């Protein structure tokens, strides 16, 4: 077979390569697809010029044709590296160096000292260096990351190509015979053409296999995410309390979406604002400025308003102070996920990434949105459960514990006090002359006074204190507190009532009287409350707006 026939075959192979490249590269990602198609077009044009070189001047048939050939192989290497590393490889500096070396040598050995053999040595040496670099870079990354090679066949092909072009360079130098034309009968030239046919066919098959392999990896990754999502749904089906749900949500975000920092926002009452209800913050980001937003504000507000998954680069975050602080701590992207239910959007999740989403291949808008819907569903159930629980356990007017729930908590704390020898103090509090308020100003004004009283109790008492509506009075249970500690809290409440004024009472105030009793060994709940009730009666007898302590009798 003569060299012209081999060149014609090479041209046909290049055409087939271009057709299949355009058909299969679309699944390899935008960057890889672009570079892969570019290399196939460059090689097709290069081989067409070489095949018809007798019809072109030297500048086109030698300089341009070989440069396009060199570029075609260069971008094949670039394609494989981009596919393997999932990011743009550094190409411009190397390409400039190769172009300069090529241009100077080929121009010299074409127009000053015409010598085909030297041109073969130069282009073979450049290709050997390029393939050698690709092999070394890929192998180094392979050993460091310990991941399977995506472009396994291409990696080995580059190794063979590097050895071949080193061999061709050495043989050409040793034999050093003048080659006037590629169509001359020359064993090494013929072998080179055969190798090019073999190389391009194997490269095409290798990249095709790499594309299929990558697609399988993505399918398995999506399957893993769906498995995590299924586990999440199975797990959350068992929980109705928000405090149990939030860790499950965190778990699926961490395992399936490589998230290490995220916040869950829910609408506030009135739906004109939303607040952060749960956060996990491995990046230790400052959160003071992003805990509460008005309607439509922040990434969470935008995701809620537009009901879609929104991803932004940290450089485009509108609050520059927050953006600069987050960027300095490694944040690259933010993702807003709406929490959509059948009744509307109830909140959003803001996810923080410190890795490039596209390069790390973790962003999936559709799956994020679906996850948001599932999370919203379980959160809605939990909120409904919480609301029903509150209705069952709290007084409808004040929101304080009702009598039944207070008795339950009283029994619990009394057992703790008996078991651990802890202190326990109660206070029964009554609004002074409250009957006169209802009689003289109406029950509507009386209701306002009671509701305001509940707000005062909630503000002035501690988080560990229990407060309930106890008939016409209020009962405060100070767990793990002796008389002196309980007295401090009750006195703080009494002083707060002195400062309250009510428009419906012509800006007059309503004071309180309180009776307090401390638990002693052997006492029952009824006995303790009875002692506090006696102290309350004494406080009223002595003029009201005061606190009296019970004198505990031995039981």
Q: Are 200 and 14 in contact (CB under 8 A)?
A: yes
Phi, psi of 256 (to 5 degrees): -90, -25
pLDDT at position 3 is 64
Q: How far apart are CA 21 and CA 280, in angstroms?
A: 45
The CA dihedral of 359, 361, 365, 369, to the nearest 10 degrees, is -130
Sheet with 512-518: strands ordered across: 466-470, 473-479, 424-431, 512-518, 547-549
Q: What SS3 class is residue 292?
A: strand
User: What is the secondary structure of 516-548 as a DSSP string?
Assistant: EEE--TT--HHHHHHHHHHHHHHHHHTTSSSEE
CA end-to-end distance (rounded Å), the chain: 118
pLDDT at position 555 is 43
pLDDT at position 509 is 87
Compute the chain's Rg from CA coordinates.
Answer: 40
Which neighbouring-strand residues pair with 281?
A: 261
pLDDT at position 182 is 59
User: What is the secondary structure of 191-209 as a DSSP string?
Assistant: HHHHHHHHHHHHHHHHHHH
Q: What SS3 class is residue 309?
A: coil
User: Tokens standing for 517?
Assistant: 């009793």
289 is a catalytic site residue: no
pLDDT at position 32 is 79
Which residue's structure tokens are 């090494």?
A: 188
Instruction: Output the CA–CA distances (angstroms, integers) from residue 443 to 396, 437, 448, 452, 485, in the order listed.
Output: 16, 8, 9, 14, 35
Q: Is 387 exposed, middle or buried (0-12, 13-18, 19+ CB in 10 A)?
A: exposed
Find the catalytic residue in 472, 518, 521, 538.
472
For the chain, 555 residues long, give each residue's pLDDT as a single digit of tens.
566 777 788 788 888 888 888 877 776 677 778 888 888 899 889 888 888 888 888 899 889 988 999 999 998 888 888 887 765 555 667 888 888 999 999 899 888 988 888 888 999 999 999 999 888 888 877 766 556 677 888 889 999 999 999 998 888 888 765 555 555 566 777 788 888 888 888 888 888 888 887 777 777 767 766 776 676 666 666 667 778 888 888 888 887 778 899 999 999 877 689 999 999 999 999 998 899 999 889 999 999 999 999 999 998 888 888 899 999 998 998 999 999 988 899 999 999 988 766 555 556 777 788 888 888 988 888 888 878 777 788 888 898 999 989 999 999 999 888 888 889 999 999 999 898 888 888 989 999 999 999 999 999 999 899 999 998 899 999 999 999 999 999 999 999 999 988 888 887 889 999 999 999 888 889 999 999 999 999 999 999 999 999 976 544
The CA dihedral of 291, 293, 299, 303, to the nearest 10 degrees, is 120
Q: The whole model's pTM is what?
A: 0.50
pLDDT at position 519 is 92
Which neighbouring-strand residues pair with 279?
A: 263
């Amino acid at each position: 077979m003569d060299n012209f026939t081999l060149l014609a075959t090479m041209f046909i192979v290049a055409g087939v390569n271009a057709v299949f490249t355009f058909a299969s590269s679309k699944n390899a990602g935008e960057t890889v697809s672009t570079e892969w198609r570019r290399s196939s077009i460059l090689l097709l044009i290069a081989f067409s010029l070489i095949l018809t070189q007798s019809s072109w001047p030297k500048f086109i048939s030698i300089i341009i044709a070989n440069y396009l050939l060199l570029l075609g192989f260069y971008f094949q290497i670039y394609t494989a590296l981009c596919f393997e590393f999932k990011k743009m490889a550094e190409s411009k500096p190397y390409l400039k160096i190769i172009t300069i070396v090529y241009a100077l040598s080929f121009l010299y050995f074409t127009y000053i000292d015409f010598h085909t053999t030297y041109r073969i040595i130069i282009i073979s040496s450049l290709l050997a260096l390029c393939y050698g670099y690709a092999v070394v870079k890929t192998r180094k990354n392979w050993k460091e990351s310990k991941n399977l090679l995506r472009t396994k066949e291409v990696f080995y092909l580059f190794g063979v190509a590097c050895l071949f072009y080193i061999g061709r360079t050495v043989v050409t130098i040793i034999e050093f015979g003048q080659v006037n034309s590629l169509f001359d009968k020359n064993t090494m030239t013929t072998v080179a053409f055969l190798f090019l046919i073999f190389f391009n066919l194997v490269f095409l098959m290798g990249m095709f296999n790499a594309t299929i392999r990558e697609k399988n990896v993505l399918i398995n990754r999506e399957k893993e995410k769906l498995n995590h999502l299924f586990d999440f749904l199975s797990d959350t089906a068992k929980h109705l309390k928000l405090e149990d749900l939030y860790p499950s949500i965190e778990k699926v975000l961490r395992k399936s979406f490589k998230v290490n920092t995220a916040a869950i926002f829910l609408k506030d009452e009135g739906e004109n604002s939303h607040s952060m209800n749960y956060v996990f913050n491995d990046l230790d980001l400052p959160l003071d400025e992003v805990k509460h937003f008005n309607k439509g504000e922040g990434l969470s507000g935008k995701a809620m308003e537009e009901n879609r998954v929104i991803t932004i680069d940290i450089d485009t975050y509108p609050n520059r102070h927050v953006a600069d602080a987050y960027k300095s701590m490694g944040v690259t992207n933010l993702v807003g996920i709406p929490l959509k239910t059948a009744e509307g959007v109830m909140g959003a999740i803001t996810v923080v990434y410190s890795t490039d989403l596209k390069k790390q291949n973790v962003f999936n808008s559709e799956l994020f949105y679906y996850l948001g819907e599932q999370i919203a569903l379980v959160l809605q159930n939990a909120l409904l459960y919480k609301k029903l629980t509150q209705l069952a356990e709290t007084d409808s007017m004040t929101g304080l514990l009702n009598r039944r729930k207070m008795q339950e908590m009283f029994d619990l704390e009394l057992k703790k006090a008996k078991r651990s020898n802890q202190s326990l103090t109660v206070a029964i509090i009554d609004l002074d002359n409250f009957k006169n308020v209802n009689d003289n100003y109406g029950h509507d004004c009386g209701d306002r006074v009671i509701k305001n009283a509940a707000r005062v109790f909630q503000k002035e008492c501690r988080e560990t204190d229990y407060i309930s509506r106890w008939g016409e009075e209020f009962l405060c249970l100070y767990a793990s507190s002796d008389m002196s500690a309980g007295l401090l809290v009750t006195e703080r409440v009494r002083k707060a009532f002195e400062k309250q004024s009510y428009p419906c009472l012509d800006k007059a105030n309503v004071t309180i009287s309180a009776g307090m009793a401390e638990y002693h060994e052997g006492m029952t709940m009824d006995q303790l409350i009875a002692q506090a009730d006696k102290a309350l009666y004494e406080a009223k007898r002595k003029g009201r707006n005061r606190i009296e302590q019970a004198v505990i009798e031995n039981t």
